[in-house]
């Protein structure tokens, strides 16, 4: 019996190792099709990006992207199983195969893309780190926060950016770091910190949850580049291509004026670009292992990028964030998707 | 002889060792060891190969890389340009700080409440019962969050800091204590105090020998205390009090200077201490109740004072019952301190198995190190307590 216990202990110790070791090398697309749903890692609760609504349905820009991928594969946006993850858990969940796709307001950085086995496929939201402070402090810049206590979430690029910002200016600050965003915001709300920092989009999302949102302001100074985008595991190029072109099709649909409402008319359009997008011309689904109407399904079920943006974080939402750098390139923004041809 | 029963004598001779239970036992042990080792090596190689195939960095080289983030409480020198290896030490010392202070406080409080539950005073005994039943039946994580957010609500903001005597400032950013500043000459005071401690130990030994030999009681404790305090105090005053204090002063956002006890630390200590004390109280109560009534009656019949009955007869016997389960509680407290991550206290799990893991993403290495540390702390605690238990065990004469 004692030996049995020893072996059990050994097995327990090896659990994490096994979780990674047993990670299948086979095609992710085949596995997803066989399972019948897409497992998508999302934020536990970030208004506008991924949060359950009052009916318990997941909504948000990141959530819409999961639905777009599911639409492309299954022609059905409901075939997604959402896996809520904290900032700390997200990469391990992807590496271990628990999720197929990470769409969780995650910043694309070099180390994440090269040392952690992740492949970022593009950018769904161009963000930057900002600070939320009490209006009564009357601050103009982040540097005036020298000596202040700052609440933030662990396992984020935010933690590193703040350290860099204050270090380069030889200023000091007191970090107060929480595992979950809710606790960081609660502590800030109760006066533990003078400032709360995260990506600017998150600041707007959190501000509407505070007791008195009008007593707080978001500082106009942005201290970092935070390109947020979906990521997949390295080593499965077909899957990475599928997810990447889902994003590009989403953006291209907006550029070509194809919307959820007019997609059935546009399918008869004479414009070759639209015809290639919607699969009436060419065999573009073939290369990513899907039917040729893959992009039609995305737009039909989820709408184009601009529609999803306005619905979740823009004018149609409580966040009311201006599109600014998240406009398409031709409107003066940063989103520029390669052509489908 | 058993081995002559089957087969020819030659055959029996050449294979006799196979039938020897001792040899066979050893062989089985070796086979098992090889099996377990092969299992681990296979897991190790397989993990390494798969991590490599997935392009995930492996190895312990990350410990020398720059961490790049700041930590709110550091007992060892640390700044954001320090390495991940230094983050480990920061986390470890923060965990040990909470564990050691928590164990001391929980033991004291647990003993007091355990004795209170046995009190002949109806009110005191009932209060003890209510405390134990409420505290041990509410999940610790909820208690920690409740303490933390209560502290943040109750304590004043820095611009309305509560000023206590001795220059102590209380805010919801922490309790600020004056920091002692070492002045030349303080070393002499410390050396005198150390010499005093050595003298006190010598007096204790001498007093014990004398008591065993003659039965005469010597108040060794008070002599020892005087020997430690008096000479040190004389040297301290003679050198003109070679110590100064740095007092916390109001800054732009927080109080500046002094020693800060973060609200996260206070909430964590409160939660862990109160929770573990409830369990220790029950252990103490059961230990004392396990001492036969006859022992107390016999001690009273010998004319011992009720306090002497407790101190010299009841508690030493109760300790035999108390120590083994007490060790469990100490281990639990240490391991429970990893809940610190929920309320933003930078313990080992929070900064090392949290932030470092997330930045390097070397989950296997980081989790192995962290598990190894908790295992080592727990084994060390168990070892100390076993030694203490052996000392306290009933010596049969």
Nearest CA in chain A to B45: A21
User: Structural domain boundaries of chain A?
Assistant: 20-126+228-326, 129-224
Could you tell me the two tokens for B167? 């220059």
Residue A113 has pLDDT above 90, yes or no: no
CATH superfamily of domain region B84-178+247-392: MetI-like (1.10.3720.10)
Could you tell me the two tokens for B14? 């050449």
User: What is the predicted pLDDT for the residue at A9?
Assistant: 46
User: What is the predicted pLDDT for the residue at A114?
Assistant: 84
Residue A312 has pLDDT above 90, yes or no: yes
Do B256 and A147 lie within an 8 Å CB cutoff? yes
The DSSP line for A322-336 is --GGGSBGGGTSSB-
Arithmetic mean of pLDDT, B335-341: 91
Q: What is the pLDDT of residues A258-303, one digit of tens each?
A: 999 999 999 999 999 999 999 999 899 998 999 999 999 999 999 9
* Confidence grade of residue B396 (pLDDT, cut at 50, 70, 90): low
CATH superfamily of domain region A129-224: Periplasmic binding protein-like II (3.40.190.10)
Residue A310 CA to residue A252 CA, distance in Å, equals: 16
Arithmetic mean of pLDDT, B292-318: 89
The DSSP line for B341-368 is GGGT---HHHIIIIIIHHHH--HHHHHH
User: What is the predicted pLDDT for the residue at B10?
Assistant: 55
Nearest to A232 by CA among A86, A65, A71, A88: A65
Residue A38 CA to residue A80 CA, distance in Å, equals: 5
User: What is the predicted pLDDT for the residue at B6?
Assistant: 52
Residue A294 CA to residue A298 CA, distance in Å, equals: 7
Residue A27 has pLDDT above 80, yes or no: yes
> In this structure, are strands A38-43 and A101-102 parallel, antiparallel, or unpaired?
parallel
* Confidence grade of residue B12 (pLDDT, cut at 50, 70, 90): low
Size of chain B, expressed as the number of residues it contains: 397
User: How distant is the Cα of B355 from the closest Cα of chain A, in angstroms?
Assistant: 5
Q: What is the pLDDT of residues B243-283, one digit of tens each?
A: 778 888 887 788 777 888 999 999 999 999 999 999 999 99
Residue A1 has pLDDT above 60, yes or no: no
Q: What CATH number does the domain located at A20-126+228-326 have?
A: 3.40.190.10
Beta bridge partners of A38: A80
User: What is the predicted pLDDT for the residue at A75?
Assistant: 95
- The answer to whether domain A20-126+228-326 and domain A129-224 are alike in fold is yes
Q: What percent of chain A has pLDDT over 70?
A: 93
Do B361 and A92 lie within an 8 Å CB cutoff? yes
Residues from chain A contacting residue B359 (CB–CB below 8 Å)? 111, 155, 160
User: What is the predicted pLDDT for the residue at B228?
Assistant: 84
R_g (Cα) of chain B, nearest Å: 29
Do B342 and A180 lie within an 8 Å CB cutoff? yes
Give B360 or A249, the one with higher predicted confidence.
A249
Q: What is the pLDDT of residues A53-76, one digit of tens each?
A: 889 899 999 999 999 999 999 999
Residues from chain B contacting residue A16 (CB–CB below 8 Å)? 363-364, 367
User: What is the predicted pLDDT for the residue at B208?
Assistant: 86
Residue B51 CA to residue A192 CA, distance in Å, equals: 41
Do A147 and B254 lie within an 8 Å CB cutoff? yes
Residue B250 CA to residue B160 CA, distance in Å, equals: 10
User: What is the predicted pLDDT for the residue at B164?
Assistant: 81
Arithmetic mean of pLDDT, B128-135: 94
Q: Residue holding tokens 């989950």?
A: B363
Alpha carbon separation from A207 to A47, A145, A200, A227 (Å, rounded):
10, 19, 11, 21
For chain A, what is the mean pLDDT? Answer: 88
Beta bridge partners of A130: A198
User: What is the predicted pLDDT for the residue at B8?
Assistant: 53
Arithmetic mean of pLDDT, A24-40: 87
User: What is the predicted pLDDT for the residue at B394?
Assistant: 67
Q: Which of A92, A146, A163 sits opposite B70 (nearest CB)?
A: A163
User: What is the predicted pLDDT for the residue at B395?
Assistant: 65
Beta bridge partners of B260: B176
Residues from chain B contacting residue A157 (CB–CB below 8 Å)? none
Residue B129 has pLDDT above 70, yes or no: yes
Residue A41 has pLDDT above 80, yes or no: yes
Chain B residues 274-333 within an 8 A CB cutoff of chain A: none
Q: Are A263 and A327 in contact (CB under 8 A)?
A: no
For chain B, what is the mean pLDDT? Answer: 87
Residues from chain A contacting residue B44 (CB–CB below 8 Å)? 17
User: What is the predicted pLDDT for the residue at B239?
Assistant: 79
Residues from chain A contacting residue B159 (CB–CB below 8 Å)? none
Residues from chain A contacting residue B258 (CB–CB below 8 Å)? none
Give B349 or B4, the one with higher predicted confidence.
B349
Give B183 or B196, the one with higher predicted confidence.
B196
User: What is the predicted pLDDT for the residue at A195?
Assistant: 94
Q: What percent of chain B has pLDDT over 90?
A: 39
Q: Which of A10, A146, A186 sits opposite B149 (nearest CB)?
A: A186
Residue B263 CA to residue B387 CA, distance in Å, equals: 36
Q: What are phi and psi of A228, to 5 degrees?
A: -95, 135
Residue A14 has pLDDT above 60, yes or no: no
Beta bridge partners of B168: B164
Nearest CA in chain B to A14: B43
Do A116 and B70 lie within an 8 Å CB cutoff? no
Q: What is the pLDDT of residues B41-93, one digit of tens each?
A: 998 888 888 777 777 777 888 888 888 888 988 888 998 889 999 999 999 99
Q: What is the pLDDT of residues A81-105, one digit of tens each?
A: 999 998 888 888 998 899 999 999 9
Do B69 and A163 lie within an 8 Å CB cutoff? yes
Q: Are A200 and A142 in contact (CB under 8 A)?
A: no
């Amino acid at each position: 019996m004692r030996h049995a216990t020893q072996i059990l202990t050994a097995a327990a110790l090896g659990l994490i190792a096994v979780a990674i070791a047993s990670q299948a090398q086979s095609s992710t697309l085949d596995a997803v099709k066989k399972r019948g749903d897409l497992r998508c890692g999302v934020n536990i609760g970030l208004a506008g990006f991924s949060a359950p609504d009052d009916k318990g349905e997941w909504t948000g820009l990141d959530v819409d992207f999961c639905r777009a991928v599911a639409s492309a594969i299954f022609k059905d946006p409901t075939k997604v199983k959402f896996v809520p993850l904290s900032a700390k858990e997200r990469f391990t969940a992807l590496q271990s195969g628990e999720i197929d796709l990470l769409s969780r307001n995650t910043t694309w950085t070099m180390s994440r893309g090269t040392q952690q086995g992740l492949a970022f496929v593009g950018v769904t939201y161009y963000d930057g780190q900002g600070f939320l402070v009490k209006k009564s402090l009357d601050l103009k810049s982040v540097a005036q926060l020298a000596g202040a206590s700052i609440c933030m979430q662990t396992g984020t690029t935010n933690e590193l950016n703040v350290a860099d910002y204050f270090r380069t200016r030889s200023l000091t600050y007191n970090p107060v770091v929480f595992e979950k965003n809710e606790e960081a915001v609660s502590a800030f709300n109760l006066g533990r910190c003078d400032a709360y920092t995260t990506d600017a989009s998150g600041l707007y999302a959190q501000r509407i949850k505070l007791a008195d949102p009008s007593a707080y302001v978001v500082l106009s100074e942005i201290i970092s580049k935070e390109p947020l985008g979906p990521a997949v595991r390295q080593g499965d190029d077909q899957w990475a291509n599928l997810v990447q072109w889902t994003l590009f099709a989403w953006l291209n649909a907006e550029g070509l004026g194809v919307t959820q409402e007019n997609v059935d008319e546009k399918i008869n359009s004479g414009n070759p670009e639209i015809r290639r997008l919607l699969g009436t011309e060419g065999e573009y689904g073939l290369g990513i292992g899907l039917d040729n109407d893959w992009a039609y399904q995305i737009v039909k079920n989820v709408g184009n990028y601009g529609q999803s943006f306005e619905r979740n974080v823009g004018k149609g939402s409580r966040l009311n964030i201006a599109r600014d750098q998240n406009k398409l390139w031709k409107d003066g923004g940063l989103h520029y998707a390669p052509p489908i041809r | 002889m058993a081995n002559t029963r089957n087969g020819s004598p030659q055959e029996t001779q050449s294979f006799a060792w196979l039938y020897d239970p001792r040899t066979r036992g050893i062989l089985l042990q070796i086979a098992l060891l090889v099996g377990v080792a092969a299992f681990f090596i296979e897991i190790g190689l397989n993990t390494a190969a798969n991590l490599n195939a997935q392009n995930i960095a492996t190895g312990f080289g990350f410990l020398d890389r720059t961490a790049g983030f700041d930590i709110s409480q550091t007992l060892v020198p640390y700044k954001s340009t320090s390495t991940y290896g230094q983050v480990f030490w920061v986390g470890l010392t923060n965990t040990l700080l909470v564990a050691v202070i928590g164990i001391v406080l929980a033991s004291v409080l647990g003993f007091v409440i355990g004795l209170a539950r046995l009190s002949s005073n109806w009110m005191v005994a009932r209060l003890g019962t209510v405390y134990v039943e409420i505290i041990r039946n509410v999940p610790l994580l909820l208690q920690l969050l409740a303490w933390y957010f209560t502290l943040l609500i109750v304590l004043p903001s820095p611009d309305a800091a509560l000023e206590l005597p001795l220059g102590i400032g209380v805010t919801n950013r922490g309790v600020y204590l004056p920091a002692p500043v070492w002045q030349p000459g303080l070393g002499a005071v410390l050396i005198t105090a150390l010499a005093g401690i050595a003298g006190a130990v010598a007096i204790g030994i001498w007093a014990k020998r004398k008591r065993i030999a003659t039965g005469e009681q010597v108040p060794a404790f008070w002599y020892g205390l005087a020997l430690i305090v008096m000479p040190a105090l004389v040297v301290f005053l003679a050198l003109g009090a070679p110590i100064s204090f740095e007092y916390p002063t109001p800054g732009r956002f927080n109080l500046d200077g002094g020693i800060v006890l973060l609200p996260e630390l206070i909430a964590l200590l409160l939660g862990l201490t109160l929770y573990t004390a409830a369990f220790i109280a029950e252990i103490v109560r059961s230990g004392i109740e396990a001492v036969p009534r006859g022992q107390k009656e016999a001690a009273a019949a010998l004319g011992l004072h009720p306090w002497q009955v407790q101190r010299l007869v009841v508690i030493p016997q109760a300790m035999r019952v108390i120590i083994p389960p007490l060790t469990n509680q100490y281990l639990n407290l240490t391991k429970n301190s990893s809940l610190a991550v929920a309320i933003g206290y930078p313990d080992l799990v929070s900064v090392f198995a949290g932030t470092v893991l997330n930045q390097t993403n070397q989950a296997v290495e980081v989790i192995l190190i962290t598990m190894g540390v908790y295992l080592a702390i727990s084994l060390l605690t168990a070892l100390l307590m076993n030694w203490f238990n052996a000392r306290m065990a009933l010596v049969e004469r």
